[in-house]
Amino acid sequence: MIFSYYPGCTLRNKAKDLDAYARASAEALGFTLQELDNWQCCGGVYPLGTDEIASKLSSVRALAEAKDKGQDLVTLCSACHHVLKRVNDDMTNVEDIRTRANNYMKLAEPYAGETKVLHFLEVLRDVVGFDTLKEKVVNPLTGQKIAAYYGCLLLRPGKIMALDDPENPKLLEDFIRALGAEPVVYPYRNECCGGYISLKEPDMAKNMCNTINESAKGFGAECFITACPLCRYNLNKTEQGLPVYYFTELLAEALGVKEGAL
């Protein structure tokens, strides 16, 4: 099974491991991530303004390319996932944005939200299935107590992301269970890490990450997993912070494909 794949800027640079472990795991699970030929950066933040068109075009281009290939579009980074799903929702439901974006793009056939955007985790849950995943695990992470950190962009707005219950998600917890480890549920797993604020206001982000870190620790977690390079960066800045891993690293480890993946 082949999916179109949108890696995003950071996975080509600072988060190469997030990407490499995902590809290796995908092959082990029997699907392939086929990188889009001409992807451009999504911008990291979804442009909220109703009159912002140009800043949405890179996403439309990626969505249209996947449509041409007739494939679902998979992404790994929480931010890319957020931007792509929201732009796709605009192209499906907001006539004004759809019309104006298509006027700019001059595609052979106008794009109207036909592509299905999936987070890699959705592929694991809905296509592979956690039961199958569990069967393919060769190095179960038995005994590890792992706190899933969702952050904000994976889940919200719930109506558009449609990934999981935005207030009480289970996706990463089920994932952790499938790898043989024990999920630690704590209340700040869907609260923001500070995001881009850490560039100019590092203390603000640090405060927020401290709350997240303390809460997870308090419930007995030994480490975090996340899907987002920025979440990981911010969480890593906390004092006495728990180690933070990309979920794909643990996945590759459990599937026995970690060695040689990088």
Q: Which stretches of the chain bind another protein, using CB under 8 A?
A: 8-10, 12-15, 41, 43-52, 55, 77, 79, 152-153, 155-159, 165-168, 185, 187-188, 191-192, 194-201, 204, 208, 215, 218-220, 228-230, 232-233, 236
Q: If 0-12 CB within 10 Å is exposed, 13-18 middle and 19+ buried, where does residue 216 land?
A: buried
- Both tokens of 29, joined, read 């699970």
CA triplet 67, 69, 73: central angle to 5 degrees?
Answer: 60
Question: Amino acid identity of 155?
Answer: L
User: In whole angstroms, how close is the CB of 227 to another protein at the nearest point?
Assistant: 12
- Both tokens of 210, joined, read 């401290």
How far is Cα 6 from Cα 73, in angstroms, rounded to an integer?
7
How far is Cα 262 from Cα 170, in angstroms, rounded to an integer?
29
5 neighbors 25 (Cβ within 8 angstroms) = no
User: In whole angstroms, how close is the CB of 201 to another protein at the nearest point?
Assistant: 7
User: In whole angstroms, how close is the CB of 198 to another protein at the nearest point?
Assistant: 7
Q: In terms of CB distance, is 45 or 138 closer to another protein?
A: 45
User: In whole angstroms, how close is the CB of 197 to another protein at the nearest point?
Assistant: 6
Q: In terms of CB distance, is 144 or 215 closer to another protein?
A: 215
Closest of 183, 178, 192 to residue 225, by C-alpha? 183
Q: In terms of CB distance, is 101 or 152 closer to another protein?
A: 152
Question: Amino acid identity of 213?
Answer: N
User: In whole angstroms, how close is the CB of 144 to another protein at the nearest point?
Assistant: 19
